[in-house]
Amino acid sequence: MSGTKRENIKQGTKVKVVQKQDQRSGKLTEGVVLDILTNSATHHHGIKVRLESGIVGRVKEILE
């Protein structure tokens, strides 16, 4: 499932995100959503979230 729609992402959802410094390489980091930081309903690069580990990134894949 795509991470561009806010309605698809909830607290506790397991996702893969790309961090700002990894955007060029496309390296994905897996984690569980703690906070949703994007206010709009959609974002073409992915909804920005904070993971439980404290990492902030844009959702590229939803795993659950």
Q: Which residues contact 61 (CB under 8 A, 6 or more apart)?
A: 1, 3, 15, 16, 28
| Residues 35-58 pLDDT 10s | 999 999 999 999 999 999 999 999
What confidence tier does 64 reach under pLDDT thresholds 50, 70, 90? confident
Whole-prediction pTM value? 0.93
Number of domains making up the chain: 1
> Looking at residue 22, what DSSP letter applies?
G
Tokens representing residue 23 in the block:
């955007």
34 is in which domain, residue-wise? 6-62
Residues 15 and 62: beta-carbon distance below 8 Å: yes
Domain membership flag for residue 30: yes
Residues 26 and 37: beta-carbon distance below 8 Å: no
CATH number at residue 39: 2.30.30
Domain membership flag for residue 1: no
Single-letter amino acid code for the residue at 31: G
What confidence tier does 3 reach under pLDDT thresholds 50, 70, 90? very high
Q: Residue 52's pLDDT is what?
A: 98
